[in-house]
Amino acid sequence: MTIPLVDGTYDLTIPALTQPNTVFKLKGRGAPHLQREGKGDLIVNIRVEMPKEFSKKDKELIETLDNSISPNAYKKVKAYNDKMKNL
């Protein structure tokens, strides 16, 4: 992903399986300091936008993918389900 900066751009590689609202701190890539040399840090917050509509084929592909992923891959869902079992 290319991030626009005041003095150019920065190519940020976002690792696979990065979760929404993950924050990356790009040291020395932010705005220049006003009363000293150097630049501050640039904070990049990962946001995920979901489509509002899916085609029939898209829905089928998503369902196929969902069925192929182990429920244990979702840590929060697993933790919730484990708590519910203990009630």
Per-residue pLDDT of 25-81, as tens digits, reads 999 999 999 999 999 999 999 998 888 999 999 999 999 998 898 877 888 877 887
- State both tokens at 3: 């991030």
- Phi/psi for 41 (5° steps) reads -90, 150
Domain total of the chain: 2
Are 66 and 39 members of one domain?
A: no
Are 24 and 40 members of one domain?
A: yes
Are 30 and 58 members of one domain?
A: no
Global pTM reads 0.66
pLDDT at 22: 95
- Phi/psi for 10 (5° steps) reads -135, 130
Are 66 and 78 members of one domain?
A: yes
Are 31 and 55 members of one domain?
A: no
Find where tokens 């829905």 sit: 59
Q: Higher confidence at residue 12 or residue 5? A: 12
Are 39 and 79 members of one domain?
A: no
pLDDT at 42: 94
Question: Which residue range forms the structural domain that includes residue 81?
Answer: 50-87
Residue 6 has pLDDT above 90, yes or no: no
pLDDT at 70: 83
**49, 54, 51, 53: which is closest to 20 by C-alpha?**
49
